[in-house]
Structure 1
Amino acid sequence: MTKEEKGAIIEELSEKFANTPYFYITDASGLNVAKTNELRRLCFERGIEYRVIKNTLIRKALESTDTDYSSFDAEVLTGFSGVMFHQESGKVAAKLIKDFLKANKNSIKLKGASVDSSIFIGHDQLDTLLTLKSKQELVGEIIGLLQSPAKNVISGLQSGGNKLAGILKTLSEKEAA
């Protein structure tokens, strides 16, 4: 690979890392060709771009981004590295890894992840990544919490109004009788 080709790959990766809020770096070195193809197929089906990239190219691309990924150097960017990119949710790749591990024990390992510029290092972070809520989910919960008191007041007023109307109707029927 020439310097120009490496430069083009680093530039492309830099853009990808800067514009993709969710990416996972994995080690799938224990997979045979059939299992690797199965992993790639699952990634494609779930809208995840999976690429095997040299660690030096990943390192140089990450250095050119605004976020500090220097903590990836020691543990994450060693050995075999495959990168999973996803645009919409931080959980999708974590769920795929977990599902793939159920069918293929010790086949893929999470080395590190970046979810909205938050850094997670190590395979033990997989369960944490599965429980993370997206920004949309958090905003939805906050809106629900903010709407809840107003809904309670309105329903209280409406039920009180119905009671008052019922009492007035009963009183008017008594006077008419």
Structure 2
Amino acid sequence: MDRAEKKEAVSHLNGVFSKTGVVVVAQYSGLTVAQMQRLRKQMREAGASVEVAKNRLAKIALEGTDVVSIGSLLKGPTLIAYSDDPVAAPKVAAAFAKDHDKFVLLGGAMGKTALNVDGVKALATMPSLDELRGKLVGLIQAPATKLAQLTTAPAAKLARVFGAYANRDAA
């Protein structure tokens, strides 16, 4: 890499670190190209991204960002997984680490909060933003549905009673 490419890489990584919701750092030594492609595909499907960057350039890019705490994790062959959704990248990374023992989670950061391996795994077990939104909409709709059923129930009961009396009188 020449000097201009390095500056471009640092500015790109700085933008990534500044804008993402969560960053996960893992070691990937020993993974095949096919396994790395599978990881990238799974991350992309979940709305996350994976990048392999030079550790020295990544440390320079970390300066002035909220996730500066991951600088100590950048040793050896590391990759950086990130997403805007605080659950997407940790969920895919933890599932991939469970299936591939050569993929080792090192930690990460969510905003200014540094995460160890257990913190990343804890984030992975949480529901995603879309799941939480679905549950919230369900909770909001449930009382309205019950209220509508309660307001129509007395009228329906009254109509059945009138119908029963009409049928009895006709017989």
TM-score by length of 2: 0.78
1:129 aligned partner, one-letter code: L
1:43 aligns with 2:51: no
Q: In the TM superposition, what whole-angstrom CA distance separates every residue of 1:34-76 from its partner, at most 9, and x where no partner exists?
A: x3313321123221543222222222222243xx2232233x2
CA distance in 2, matches of 1:12, 1:93: 21
Contact 1:27–1:110 under 8 Å retained in 2: yes
CA distance in 2, matches of 1:42, 1:86: 17
Q: Aligned in 2, Cα 1:114/1:85: closer, same or farther, shift over 3 Å?
A: same
Q: Cα RMSD (Å) of the superposition?
A: 2.7
Contact 1:109–1:123 under 8 Å retained in 2: no
Q: Percent identity?
A: 23
What pairs up with 1:1-177 in 2 under 5 angstroms? 1-29=1-29, 31=30, 35-46=31-42, 47=44, 49-65=49-65, 68-74=66-72, 76-86=73-83, 90-92=87-89, 94-102=91-99, 104-105=100-101, 107-115=102-110, 117=111, 119-177=113-171
Contact 2:70–2:114 under 8 Å retained in 1: no
Structure 1 stretches lacking a partner, 5+ long: none
**Total equivalences in the alignment:** 167
Contact 1:94–1:129 under 8 Å retained in 2: yes
CA distance in 2, matches of 1:157, 1:126: 47
Contact 2:69–2:114 under 8 Å retained in 1: no
